[in-house]
Structure 1
Amino acid sequence: MISAFKTVAATCVALLPLGALPAVAQETIPITIGAGLPPHSNSVARIIDYVIPEIDRRLAENGNYKIEWTTGWSGTIAGQFDMFEAVQDGIIDIGSVNTLFEGAKLPMEQITYVTPFGGNDLVKTMEIFDKVRAELPELDEQFLRFNQRRLGVGGLVDYHLLSTFEIKTLEDLQGKKFGTPGLAANWLDGTGATPVAGSLSEYYNSLKTGVYDGIVIFESGIAPFKFHEVAPIITRVGFGSQLTTNLTINEDKWQSLPEEVQNILVEVGAEYENKATEGTIALATKSLETAVAEGAKINDMEPGEVAKLAAALPNIATLWAKSIDDKGLPGTKMLETYMQMSRDAGITFARDWDKE
């Protein structure tokens, strides 16, 4: 009787419709993601409109995992100056880190900021930096020392001077105060201007109240942050394309993730670089057009004056490289590699920073 019962039971199970079988449970993974900048900033906008939905879409296709996102933009969880530490400590799992403010902890990430007056082809700059990164593993090791890893890098097309006064010659900078981000302060060294460390979140009020006479600003940030309302003169000097932001993930969080999720994060992080670059280039053009339409004036500094401005600087690149060498990192090697790869790509600098 028992044997017969087992046979009947097995037959009944075999006849059950497929939908009646127990479904495999989908695992929900909580991830906190944030940025110090607001949603209209290009790097943040691409996270919101591409990174998050694309990760969700790919996970949904496989059906094994789902992410429960907690978001914090505009510094609601951590500000621009605190984001790197917030990711390091796990307060935020994934963060848009403004690496230009982390010169002490991420010195090698600053290479473009110590080699100004190069090209303004951001696509080329990104490609060159990826090649340099492939040759120098120390670049990624920097992040791991602070309990995080890179998912993608973002940059800016070009930096210029935005001011409340006309700038035609190097002498016009004498005695003026400029808000500057990170190592961009070095771009005014020896010019007679006074750089003041600042950030996007406080530039507007500082210009409006006269704390600054101008700012060193990237093209795509002028109109979105309405800086031209309080400093309507844009002087294009061509400091060049810069790498500014990294999307990073806390290493402990990374190690806790299933391989499938890790792979998708890597894939989407690489695509984020392209999306952010495309967005920045489009936004830079639109930003200048909008600023002019709303009353701003664009002046192009004469090439001879740009050359004088570049020549007024100390060799900030070799000084930087030596300081990196002294820390046991390949600063000189990185400078030489980056400059040579740039030349090979057809980029001409106002100064041969690595050869002086």
Structure 2
Amino acid sequence: MKPVKTIKNLMIVLALGFFGMGQALAETTFRYAEGTPNRGTRAEALQFFAEEIKRESGGEMRIDIHWGGVLLKYSAIMDGVTAGTADLGTVLAPYQPQKLHALAIGDLPLANSDPWVGLHAMYDLMTQNEQMKQALAKHDLVYLGNYTTTGVQFECTEGNEIRTLEDLKGKRMRASVTYAKVLKDLGANMVNMTYSDIYQALETGLADCSAAYFYAMRAFKTPEVTHSVTRVDWGQIMGFALVMNRHIWEELTPEQQQIFRNAGVAMTDHYARLLLEEIEEVSSDLPAGKLGNKIEIIELPEEDRQKLFSATEKYVREWIEQTNKSGLDGQGIWDEYTALLKKYETERDERGYPWDR
């Protein structure tokens, strides 16, 4: 059944003004389902996206964000947007591994952990590759933008420091998607829970360590219950997108669609800049105890980092094979994605970030 656009206030006013012209005024409100509370860097980026829509449309379009899973929990957002319960929402590939298998390309651990590089590569892939667009369209979804967790680090409680990969053996760890599979292969005992539960798990000893992210440490207050962070900069989780119901999208005018596209691009740079600033600030504040305990920053040996990437290769092949079985060109999509990562790495190295040019 075709969803009905949520309209908070739709009115047509015809009046004769000084210029003898009729004027139509309307405000359309779109419901956005977000699974996390309104705090932290990503929440700031989503709010920026909403403000861009309102500004670029002259107030005619507005995003009403339902934070903290009030409208839909993360596990229900994709189906909720498909059905029209929400007009837009934040979706994560792990919650719908079959339906969002294509999007899960962003969850495969690679050497790149730069948020600006990763976000732009995902945006280009998901908006320009026809196969990726169709993979979402068949579930009545349109991709508008991407989020990222930033690079994966190992955050641990006192006495559970990870200095080499050998230290992973026997550790009770929380991680997600392919990262959890690789860590299990390397001997860790994986604890299944959402990231929102990690503080209590670390505090009570249910978990010794977490595959964590600098950008989330302040928001989730984990330095209050940990004592070390092993800096790994191991890929980033990007099967993490902002989507709109396809029927709502098709009801928009081309000009309105362009406003949403422009907001997605603007959010990409804005969010990446926020993340890079947060990473630098948090990594500096941790050893000083400004966020809780004085946290020891440990550098994982480069040889061990390379072992992590090697351990990931079989899961890349697995993604390609499963994508082929779904009727898409898995290898072709993977090649395009890695080429985009290289493109933006080169642009960054040669020209710097856009805000520094």
TM-score between both structures, scaled by the size of structure 2: 0.82
Secondary structure in structure 1 of the residue aligned to 2:275: helix
**Structure-2 residue corresponding to 1:325:** 324
Q: Distance in 1 between matches of 2:66 and 2:303?
A: 46
Q: Distance in 2 between matches of 1:344 and 1:57?
A: 31
2:215–2:278: 8 Å Cα contact kept in structure 1? Answer: yes
1:170-249 equivalent positions in 2, closer than 5 A: 170-249=165-244
Q: Which has the larger radius of gyration?
A: 1
Q: Distance in 2 between matches of 1:328 and 1:122?
A: 30
* Structure 1 residue 30, shift from structure 2 partner: 2.7
Amino acid at match of 2:282: S
Task: Establish whether residue 260 from structure 1 lines up as the match of residue 255 from structure 2.
Answer: yes
Task: Establish whether residue 120 from structure 1 lines up as the match of residue 113 from structure 2.
Answer: yes
1:174–1:193: 8 Å Cα contact kept in structure 2? Answer: yes
Is the alpha carbon distance of 1:197 and 1:141 closer, same or farther for their aligned partners in structure 2, counting shifts above 3 Å?
A: farther
2:117–2:345: 8 Å Cα contact kept in structure 1? Answer: no
* Structure 1 residue 133, shift from structure 2 partner: 4.2
**Structure-1 residue corresponding to 2:85:** 91
* Structure 1 residue 299, shift from structure 2 partner: 0.4
Q: Which of the numbers 282, 285, 292 marks the counterpart of 2:287?
A: 292
**Structure-2 residue corresponding to 1:154:** 147
Amino acid at match of 2:79: E
Is the alpha carbon distance of 1:279 and 1:98 closer, same or farther for their aligned partners in structure 2, counting shifts above 3 Å?
A: farther
Q: Which of the numbers 54, 57, 68 marks the counterpart of 1:56?
A: 54
Is the alpha carbon distance of 1:327 and 1:90 closer, same or farther for their aligned partners in structure 2, counting shifts above 3 Å?
A: same
1:148–1:248: 8 Å Cα contact kept in structure 2? Answer: yes
The CA deviation string for residues 133-190 of structure 1, in whole angstroms up to 9 with x for no partner, is 4663111112211112011112243111111111112221111221112332123142
**Worse-matched range after superposition: 236-245 or 82-91:** 236-245
1:191–1:313: 8 Å Cα contact kept in structure 2? Answer: no
1:332-351 equivalent positions in 2, closer than 5 A: 332-342=331-341
* Structure 1 residue 230, shift from structure 2 partner: 1.6
1:101–1:182: 8 Å Cα contact kept in structure 2? Answer: no
2:287–2:296: 8 Å Cα contact kept in structure 1? Answer: yes
1:100–1:183: 8 Å Cα contact kept in structure 2? Answer: no
TM-score between both structures, scaled by the size of structure 1: 0.82
**Structure-1 residue corresponding to 2:44:** 45
Is the alpha carbon distance of 1:90 and 1:169 closer, same or farther for their aligned partners in structure 2, counting shifts above 3 Å?
A: same
The CA deviation string for residues 175-221 of structure 1, in whole angstroms up to 9 with x for no partner, is 12211123321231421002234322211112222221111112211
* Structure 1 residue 291, shift from structure 2 partner: 2.8
Task: Establish whether residue 283 from structure 1 lines up as the match of residue 278 from structure 2.
Answer: yes
Q: Distance in 2 between matches of 1:309 and 1:327?
A: 28
* Structure 1 residue 18, shift from structure 2 partner: 4.6
Amino acid at match of 2:333: M
**Structure-1 residue corresponding to 2:33:** 34
Is the alpha carbon distance of 1:313 and 1:25 closer, same or farther for their aligned partners in structure 2, counting shifts above 3 Å?
A: closer
Could you tell me which runs of 5 or more consecutive residues in structure 1 were left unpaired when the two chains were aligned. Answer: 1-16, 348-356
Amino acid at match of 1:97: V
Q: Distance in 1 between matches of 2:340 and 2:33?
A: 34
Q: Distance in 2 between matches of 1:281 and 1:213?
A: 27
**Structure-2 residue corresponding to 1:315:** 314
Could you tell me which runs of 5 or more consecutive residues in structure 2 were left unpaired when the two chains were aligned. Answer: 1-15, 347-357
Is the alpha carbon distance of 1:134 and 1:269 closer, same or farther for their aligned partners in structure 2, counting shifts above 3 Å?
A: closer
Secondary structure in structure 2 of the residue aligned to 1:224: helix
Tell me the number of residue pairs that the alignment of Structure 1 and Structure 2 aligns: 325
Is the alpha carbon distance of 1:303 and 1:69 closer, same or farther for their aligned partners in structure 2, counting shifts above 3 Å?
A: closer
**Structure-1 residue corresponding to 2:8:** none
1:154–1:277: 8 Å Cα contact kept in structure 2? Answer: no
Q: Distance in 2 between matches of 1:344 and 1:59?
A: 32
Is the alpha carbon distance of 1:268 and 1:127 closer, same or farther for their aligned partners in structure 2, counting shifts above 3 Å?
A: closer
* Structure 1 residue 346, shift from structure 2 partner: 6.0
Amino acid at match of 1:224: A
Q: Distance in 2 between matches of 1:343 and 1:22?
A: 53
The CA deviation string for residues 69-99 of structure 1, in whole angstroms up to 9 with x for no partner, is 4331111111222222221121111112234
Q: Which of the numbers 64, 71, 74 marks the counterpart of 1:70?
A: 64
* Structure 1 residue 226, shift from structure 2 partner: 0.8
* Structure 1 residue 19, shift from structure 2 partner: 3.3
* Structure 1 residue 20, shift from structure 2 partner: 8.2
2:106–2:238: 8 Å Cα contact kept in structure 1? Answer: yes
Q: Distance in 2 between matches of 1:340 and 1:54?
A: 30
**Worse-matched range after superposition: 149-158 or 284-293:** 284-293
* Structure 1 residue 227, shift from structure 2 partner: 1.2
